[in-house]
A and B are shown apart, each in its own frame.
Chain A
Amino acid sequence: MHWFAETRENYCPRWFEAMAQSFPDRWRTLDGQEPSAVLLKRTPTPDRVAVIISGGGSNGPFIPGFVGEGMADAAVVGPPYTAPSAYALYETGKAIGKEKGILLLYNNFMGDYLNNDMAAELLQLEGYEVEQVSCYDDMGMAIGEPRENRGGRIAIAYLIKLCAEAARQGKPLKEIAALARKAIARSSTLCVAVEPEKNCVTYGAGFSDEPGFLTRENATVAGTAEETIQMLCDDVKPQPDERVYMLVNRMRMTSYSDSFVMAGCLKTALDSRVQNAQMRVGGYMQVMDCYGYTVTLLCADQEIAPYLEGTLCGDGFLL
């Protein structure tokens, strides 16, 4: 954070407070949760299941940019790169989840799991209905282990859209959680980090400097797109009755135009393998200070696909 270091105390509460000040018709905060921070959808919808997303506080637009109509009801973050406290999650659940229950949606990391699992127990003890779904789409992690051991990346963006739409349609909590679990089991994300000056591509790097699993010298854009799609298809194996949804997420140093040109190459590679795929491109989660992107495939059957239709307008992205 360099010269921002002096703001580090209560950084995330200050961040969310300013978001609420910027767009008061869209967001408000739930105060008193320091050092965690909570952003709520301005207009509560108590007649629906409440979707709460959470994780370490950093960068964006994921997590708080995914709060709003058609997306999550609340975002809870801890200090930068630290899971939110179970207590803040519990208070958020109590604030918005009384009537139809609460879905806790988060990426599969130890701190996030522990705090969401604890919050679920605290809420259940007080009579709230709670389900939790952890997202495990990062194919660069836990290689050779069960899929559920992987960390989460950005397939959670599709799950937020799916759960919010199912909640809007009045689906009950257990049904929404089951849809989300089915969707994450059919998702995979590959991180493609690029050193453009060296034409060097690394697949599978994590967002905390974990090394990738494969490096290619003299990589071309089209060749990289082809190899990326092949690895993802090998991992999720799209079935004939499924529609494939592809999310191309550019990392911070990647230009707007480069990301679309790359996405076009990825779409060509995908279209040669499956029919009727849908693609979304944007800066959804800009964690890494590097050039490159992540590519997510979600294979949706006829039960899941209808919830992913339409275009959502988030804070700085379309989905």
Chain B
Amino acid sequence: MNRADTAALKAAMLVAADAIIDAEPELTRIDKVIGDGDHGIGMKTGFTAIRRQLEKTDYSTPYDLFHACGLCLVKSMGGSSGVLFGTLLIGGLEAIRNKDILDGGDMCSFLSGGIDAVVRRGKAKAGYKTMVDALLPAKEDMQKALEETNDIDRILEAGEAGALRGVEETKAMLPRLGRSKGFRESALGWPDPGAVSVSVLLGGLKKGLSE
């Protein structure tokens, strides 16, 4: 698919929500080793709320769709994950204001804006073993892919690949922020669960738009 309207994006968000919900046991398993074990449940709660919201509401623009999804996460999850994943969906909205259909460039601008907002708000730098370590390579790969294609599914494919590369890199990192810094040594060899969630979300969106 080279462009997506609101209905296609909504279908893709539902696929992504299911992907996060399905990943809950794995996210919980990782977070139990290096964090306080609640990341998977929090993500599942947030994306279940998105699923319920999307099942009962249709939106007229991609802006309204992603704004509602971001608010769902902020409202249902609490804690820092709710704010940061909500920020990912809300922080780049300005790039798609007044658009009915998104192409690859629009999706890249929207997600890059959200990624920049997460970096600014979360105050995490690259290498701190956080979701930022998946977001920054995702942004880099999306922008690189944009030189060759404007297809929305291929941009998301590049984003997922970048995020997965980042996830691999977090395995060798020591945590610097948040609760997992109390588990410094035992976190080695494990990926950051927030980074994993980023890759699952981008992968779900890609899958939803490729079907």
Residues of A that sit less than 8 Å from B by CB = 35, 78, 82, 85-87, 90, 110-111, 114-115, 117-118, 121-122, 125
Partner of A125, one of B82, B83, B93, B122: B93
User: Known contacts being A35-B78, A85-B74, A87-B74, is A121 close to B90, with CB within 8 Å?
Assistant: yes
Contact with A along B66-104 (1 / 0, CB 8 A): 010001001100111011101100110100000000000
B86 and A118: CB pair below 8 A?
yes
User: Known contacts being A114-B121, A117-B121, A121-B91, is A85 close to B78, with CB within 8 Å?
Assistant: yes
A78 and B78: CB pair below 8 A?
yes
The interface residues of chain B lying within 8 Å CB-to-CB of A35 are 78
Chain B at the A interface: SS class: helix
The interface residues of chain A lying within 8 Å CB-to-CB of B82 are 85-86
CB distance from B45 to the nearest CB of A (A): 13
A86 and B74: CB pair below 8 A?
yes
A111 and B79: CB pair below 8 A?
yes
- 8 smallest A-B Cβ distances: which pairs? A87-B75, A114-B83, A118-B83, A86-B74, A87-B74, A85-B78, A114-B80, A117-B121
CB distance from B136 to the nearest CB of A (A): 19
Contact with A along B44-75 (1 / 0, CB 8 A): 00000000000000000000000100010011
CB distance from B120 to the nearest CB of A (A): 9
A87 and B71: CB pair below 8 A?
yes
A122 and B83: CB pair below 8 A?
no
The interface residues of chain B lying within 8 Å CB-to-CB of A115 are 83
Identify the closest chain A residue to B87 (Cβ): A118
CA distance A139 to B69 in the complex (A): 40
The interface residues of chain B lying within 8 Å CB-to-CB of A117 are 83, 121
The interface residues of chain B lying within 8 Å CB-to-CB of A111 are 79-80
B80 and A110: CB pair below 8 A?
yes
CA distance A111 to B178 in the complex (A): 10
The interface residues of chain A lying within 8 Å CB-to-CB of B83 are 86, 114-115, 117-118
Interface residues of B in 84-133 (CB under 8 A from A): 84, 86-87, 90-91, 93, 117, 121-122
Sample of 16 more A-B contacts, CB < 8 Å, known A114-B83, A114-B122, A125-B93 = A35-B78, A78-B78, A85-B74, A85-B75, A86-B83, A87-B74, A111-B80, A114-B84, A115-B83, A117-B83, A117-B121, A118-B74, A121-B90, A121-B117, A122-B74, A125-B90
The interface residues of chain A lying within 8 Å CB-to-CB of B79 are 82, 111
